[in-house]
Amino acid sequence: MAKAKTIYSCTECGGQTPKWQGQCPHCMEWNTLIESVAEAAVPGAKNRFSALAASGKVQLLSEVEAAEVPRTPTGIEEFDRVLGGGLVAGAVVLIGGDPGIGKSTLLLQVLAHLSNQQNTLYVSGEESAQQIALRAKRLALDARSLRLLPEIQLEKIQAAITADKPDVVVIDSIQTVYSEQLTSAPGSVAQVRECAAQLTRIAKSQNITIILVGHVTKEGALAGPRVLEHIVDTVLYFEGDTHSSFRLIRAFKNRFGAVNELGVFAMTEKGLREVSNPSALFLSQHGQQVAGSCVMVTQEGTRPLLVEIQALLDEAHSPNVRRLSLGLEQNRLAMLLAVLHRHAGIACYDQDVFINAVGGVKITEPGADLAVILAMVSSLRNKPLPEKLVVFGEVGLAGEVRPVQRGQERLREAAKLGFTQAIIPKANAPKQKIAGIEIIAVERVEEAVNRMR
């Protein structure tokens, strides 16, 4: 097989050169040239998309049939929830996470279930067939019909997919796959981008579902070029502490479902097990009421979750006070302390402030603002909040308490779990009373703080 010609493209200006140089000869930027495969010329066409453009035709959107995309259940409901209902034929899914978090375990469980009804292929670039067989035996999986391919060369993987015609393929992992058309090492920007693009073309042309496992950097982002996340249809992140048994899968991009969906699992000896009541993970079990604890309802995709927010305020013993936040945004904590001082008259400039979201969950929505403020006030005054109280609401710089999305669903979830009181934004107050829960609607942060007196 003749080797394809390689060129070097500039990431800044897009200029191309046949040889690598430290400086781009077009825009004069340094270290911006990356290796890529030169596209073969198509007779009568300018690029590889010309044939598609020529065969296509302009049509009205009203003429296009908007049919629902069929889904294939994976056998794991929490995974289906994050995917948007199941796997879609021709879709490419990218799942990333820290080493040892459970990516390979989950996908082996999924393929073992699907192999009983579909043609599946597990391509492993990190483990041998014997290692995968031992893992399946340890997890007590019925994977007799699962096909394995320990291979890292892209061309051989493409040939196996073309010959075997599987319905679902797992590539574990995309950073280990390399193409012989490129001279760079596996895991480099050029190799990851080219291999992902070629596998995506196979998925779309042959209507195959391909799941790519991706490594992450020390900052927690997916390793490789950012274009990798743009190429695929769905991007999932595995979250959780390797020292804890609980795992979270969060969707950050999904062309076939809602983003920010959350799947909750527990790692056991038999693999990943679904957690039927995730709110129980994020609520501490105190023998008695303690100061600095406040329960909030956060919205993760379509699922309301109850999370305990803990605050500890302690007198600072050095000129530089500490502000530490785990699971919540650090900058937002500084803003809430300023609002608390300006509008509620409570100063914390001489206090070390520590905030924690129980269970290791990361809360990115501003609906946690009011719960953080009440938890801090409770710790500062050493006065526990009511045991069955739940709180949510966004706090603005002017001290107003703003509404959050899906307030009714949050209240119903809290009532279902036995909470009898709720401090919420006035704009989220339900028109009809919800059975079993008393609603305390507030417009300003000082109103909420005064409720604690």
CATH number at residue 168: 3.40.50.300
Looking at the structure, do residues 319 and 433 belong to the same domain, yes or no? Answer: yes
* Per-residue pLDDT at 344: 93
- At 38, is the pLDDT very low, low, confident or very high (cuts 50, 70, 90)? low
Looking at the structure, do residues 105 and 162 belong to the same domain, yes or no? Answer: yes
Mean pLDDT of 219-230: 80
Decide which of 10 and 391 is more confident: 391
Mean pLDDT of 274-290: 75
CATH of the domain at 357: 3.30.230.10
Asked which of 224, 242, 276 is the last residue of a domain, the reply is 276
Asked which of 276, 302, 330 is the last residue of a domain, the reply is 276
Specify if 99 maps to a domain.
Answer: yes
Specify if 51 maps to a domain.
Answer: no
Residue 309 predicted with pLDDT over 80: yes
Asked which of 276, 298, 328 is the last residue of a domain, the reply is 276
* Per-residue pLDDT at 2: 53
Domain, as residue range, for 169: 77-276
Residue given tokens 């490789």 in the structure block: 224
Q: Are 241 and 266 in contact (CB under 8 A)?
A: no
* Per-residue pLDDT at 56: 62
Strands 401-402 and 394-395, how do they pair? antiparallel
Residue 45 predicted with pLDDT over 60: no
* Per-residue pLDDT at 284: 66
Each residue's pLDDT tens digit, 225-273: 788 899 999 999 988 776 677 888 989 999 998 887 888 898 888 889 9
* Angstrom distance (rounded) from CA 253 to CA 301: 12
Residue 224 predicted with pLDDT over 70: yes
Specify if 53 maps to a domain.
Answer: no
Per-residue b or e along 189-207, where b marks 16 or more CB atoms closer than 10 Å to that residue's CB: bbbbbbbbebbbebbeebe
* Per-residue pLDDT at 190: 84
Q: What is the distance in angstroms between the CA of the first residue and the CA of the last residue of the chain?
A: 80
Looking at the structure, do residues 145 and 122 belong to the same domain, yes or no? Answer: yes
* Per-residue pLDDT at 187: 86
Q: Using DSSP, state whether 52 is helix, strand or coil.
A: helix
The domain total for the chain is 3
Structure token pair of residue 347: 């100063």
* Per-residue pLDDT at 51: 36
3-state helix, strand, coil in the chain (%, to 5): 30, 25, 45
* Angstrom distance (rounded) from CA 142 to CA 109: 9
Mean pLDDT of 332-350: 94
Mean pLDDT of 312-335: 91
Looking at the structure, do residues 150 and 176 belong to the same domain, yes or no? Answer: yes
H-type helices in 1-128, by residue range?
A: 50-55, 77-83, 103-114
Looking at the structure, do residues 321 and 270 belong to the same domain, yes or no? Answer: no
* Per-residue pLDDT at 285: 67
* Per-residue pLDDT at 176: 94
Looking at the structure, do residues 147 and 295 belong to the same domain, yes or no? Answer: no
Looking at the structure, do residues 110 and 226 belong to the same domain, yes or no? Answer: yes
Percent of the chain with pLDDT over 70: 93
Q: Is 407 left (phi over 0), alpha (psi -120 to 50) or beta?
A: alpha
Looking at the structure, do residues 144 and 246 belong to the same domain, yes or no? Answer: yes
Supply the DSSP string of 363-406, one letter for each residue.
P-SGGGHHHHHHHHHHHHHT-PPPTTEEE--EE-TTSBEE--TT
Looking at the structure, do residues 183 and 151 belong to the same domain, yes or no? Answer: yes
* Angstrom distance (rounded) from CA 337 to CA 149: 56
Mean pLDDT of 93-105: 91
CA angle (239, 243, 249) in 5-degree steps: 15
Closest CA relative to residue 136, chosen from 102, 117, 109, 172: 109
Decide which of 11 and 181 is more confident: 181
Specify if 71 maps to a domain.
Answer: no
Specify if 57 maps to a domain.
Answer: no
* Per-residue pLDDT at 143: 86
Q: What angle in degrees, to the nearest 10, is found between the helix axes of 154-164 and 189-206?
A: 10
Closest CA relative to residue 312, chosen from 374, 355, 361: 355
Residue 1 predicted with pLDDT over 50: no
* Angstrom distance (rounded) from CA 71 to CA 308: 35
Strands 246-254 and 293-300, how do they pair? unpaired
User: What is the phi/psi pair of residue 236, to 5°?
Assistant: -120, 145
Span of 56-65, 282-291, 443-452 with lowest mean pLDDT:
282-291
Looking at the structure, do residues 229 and 258 belong to the same domain, yes or no? Answer: yes
DSSP annotation of 421 reads E
Supply the DSSP string of 399-415, one letter for each residue.
SBEE--TTHHHHHHHHH
Specify if 153 maps to a domain.
Answer: yes
Looking at the structure, do residues 233 and 296 belong to the same domain, yes or no? Answer: no
Looking at the structure, do residues 261 and 317 belong to the same domain, yes or no? Answer: no
* Angstrom distance (rounded) from CA 54 to CA 46: 11
Specify if 285 maps to a domain.
Answer: yes
DSSP annotation of 69 reads P
Specify if 102 maps to a domain.
Answer: yes
* Per-residue pLDDT at 44: 42
Each residue's pLDDT tens digit, 176-207: 999 998 888 888 888 898 999 999 999 999 99
